[in-house]
């Protein structure tokens, strides 16, 4: 399956809220497979459709990031319906925010609801790494990058560095 192009900051498409999936058909299944291939190739542990320029509320994720096992999960129209506690996601990174990692405050526990790739209701209650992945990817669907959750100073330093890198490219 073809790899998708991953949009990177400061692409304005990344700042929008994407649309819900209303029909799960062969086209959506192909998008899911292409997203999984792209995530493993990157390599990453999660990918939101918006990161590939697709205006759909779809995420794929695999905390093990094992391209051989391909144990990825799919979440369509996911929403966090409960969160509690606080933790710091250490050195969080993002395929759309190249060459930068930062500590990010996240909820320690989340309960998310949506649909699986076949349209069946899906509920995930989790903590730890999977909690961070879900929060990070669902943020993408709402136009939020992880750099929006760090201090203004660190964010400005990254933006300045990124603009300089793009100018010199």
Q: Write out pLDDT tens, residues 3-60.
A: 999 999 999 999 999 999 999 999 999 999 999 999 999 999 999 999 999 999 999 9
Considering the chain, what percentage of its residues have pLDDT values greater than 90? 93
Tell me how far the alpha carbon of residue 34 is from its chain's centroid. Answer: 15
The per-residue pLDDT for 169 is 78
Q: Closest by alpha carbon to 15, among 64, 53, 44? A: 53
Task: Name the catalytic one among 33, 90, 113, 137.
Answer: 137
Coil, helix or strand at residue 106:
strand
Give the domains, in start order, of the chain with CATH numbers.
12-168 (3.90.45.10)
Q: Closest by alpha carbon to 41, among 8, 9, 65, 76? A: 65
Q: Dihedral through CA 95, CA 101, CA 104, CA 108, nearest 10?
A: 70
Residues 70-118 pLDDT 10s: 999 999 999 999 999 999 999 999 999 999 999 999 999 999 999 999 9
Query: Is residue 33 annotated as a catalytic residue, yes or no?
Result: no
The per-residue pLDDT for 1 is 60
pTM comes to: 0.95
């Amino acid at each position: 399956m073809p790899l998708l192009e991953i949009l990177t900051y400061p692409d304005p498409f990344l700042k929008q809220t994407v649309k819900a999936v209303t029909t799960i058909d062969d086209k959506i299944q192909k998008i899911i497979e292409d997203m999984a291939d792209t995530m493993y190739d990157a390599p990453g542990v999660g990918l939101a459709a918006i990161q590939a320029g697709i205006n759909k509320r779809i995420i794929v994720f695999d905390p093990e990031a094992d391209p051989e096992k391909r144990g990825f999960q799919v979440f369509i129209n996911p929403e966090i319906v409960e969160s509690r506690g606080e933790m710091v996601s250490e050195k969080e990174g993002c395929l759309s925010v190249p060459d930068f990692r930062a500590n990010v405050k996240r909820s320690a526990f989340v309960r998310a609801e949506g649909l699986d790739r076949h349209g069946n209701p899906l509920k995930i209650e989790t903590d730890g790494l999977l909690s961070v992945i879900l929060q990070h990817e669902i943020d993408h669907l709402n136009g939020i990058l992880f750099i929006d959750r760090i201090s203004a100073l660190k964010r400005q330093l990254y933006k300045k560095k990124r603009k300089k890198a793009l100018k010199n490219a």
